[in-house]
Structure formats: C-alpha cells, structure tokens
Amino acid sequence: MTLATGRSSRWRSVRPWIGLAARLGLAAVWLAAGGSKVGDLAGSGRAVNAYQVMPYDLAMVVGAALPLVEIALGVLLLVGLATRLAAGISAALLVVFIAGIVSAWSRRLNIDCGCFGGGGELAAGQSPQYGTEILRDVGFLILAGILLTWPRTSLSIDAWLAGGHLPEEKDEQS
C-alpha cells in the first residue's frame, strides 16, 4: 500500500463522520433558530421587516414561514434524509441572510438580525454585531458546503436507503 492509497483510504473512512458532525451541527443551528422564533411568528415577521427590503405584509408572511422552514431543515438534517437538498436550501438561505446583514450594515440600520429570536430595532446605545453575525453565518455556510459536496454521512436515513453503504464501502454514489 502506497502512502497516497493509505491517505485516500483513511479519508474515505473519516469523511462520513466529518459529514455527520457537519450535518448535526447545521441541524442544531436550524432547530435552535426556528425553535426560538416559532412561538412568536409576528415577532419574526417584525424582525424581517426591520431589514426594510420588502413590503410590510410580505415581510410578515416571510417572517411567519421562516421558523417553520428552519425547523423542517433541522429535522431533515438531524435524521439525514434528503441531505443534499436540505444542505442546498440551507446554503441558499444563509447566502440570503448574509446579504441581508451586509445590506443592513451598509445602510447603517441599527437592528438585531433576529436570527435566534428577537430582532428588530436595537435600543439606544446598543450596537449591532454585523461582523460577528456574518462570520457566524459563513461558518454555517461552510457546513452546508461540506454536505453539498459529501451528503452521505454516517447514521443517516440517506445511507440506510442506499442499502447501508457509505462512500468508503461503495464507489462514490453520493
């Protein structure tokens, strides 16, 4: 066995576990975000409206739907079902969230992102944490990218539906 073959074999055996960590991490993010907002859908709508990028009525609908979408993504990722699709939707949402935060920052809005509940205008004397929020969401976007690239992970329904075969057991059929 050559050194390259050994590394390749080791990577194929580790990759599903790295994917599992990415999948569970992203699932936890979506479940926490959606769970923190689902009890106050009107508040979630007001948080979306604070970005001032769409009409009030549309912002309220988007804000009410968003926690439900986040919870659905979290559940799909938690069990590992339709992982690539959930990761793709996650990536798209995260890009929209990052763009929204950049937009708010560039327009000097003084708002809380509302990512994990709350949101809206900040009280006088409070400063937004846009840079930190963007970096956090970029980290989540990296997790989604890992799952887009390698969606078949350990302990997932996707792997079970494929006959229990993970990439290291079968040729790359992700």
- Hey, which residues does 167 pair with through a beta bridge? none
Query: How far apart (Å, rounded) are the C-alpha atoms in residues 128 and 151?
Result: 35
- Is the distance from CB of 33 to CB of 67 less than 8 angstroms? yes
Predicted pLDDT at 4: 64
- pLDDT-derived band at 11 (thresholds 50, 70, 90) equals confident
Chain segment 22-56, per-residue pLDDT in tens: 999 999 999 999 999 999 999 999 999 999 999 99
Predicted pLDDT at 162: 84
Which of residues 27 and 7 earns the better pLDDT score? 27
Matching residue, tokens 């926490």: 32
pTM exceeding 0.75: yes
- Could you tell me the two tokens for 164? 């229990």
Chain segment 126-174, per-residue pLDDT in tens: 999 999 999 999 999 999 999 999 998 989 999 888 876 655 444 444 4
Handedness of CA 100, 105, 108, 112 (dihedral sign): positive
Chain segment 119-137, per-residue pLDDT in tens: 889 988 899 999 999 999 9
- Is the distance from CB of 22 to CB of 146 less than 8 angstroms? yes
Q: Structural domain boundaries of the chain?
A: 19-161
What mean pLDDT do residues 55-65 have?
Answer: 98
Query: How far apart (Å, rounded) are the C-alpha atoms in residues 149 and 23?
Result: 12
Q: If we measure between CA atoms, which residue out of 64, 63, 68, 73 comes closest to residue 34?
A: 68
- Is the distance from CB of 128 to CB of 122 less than 8 angstroms? yes
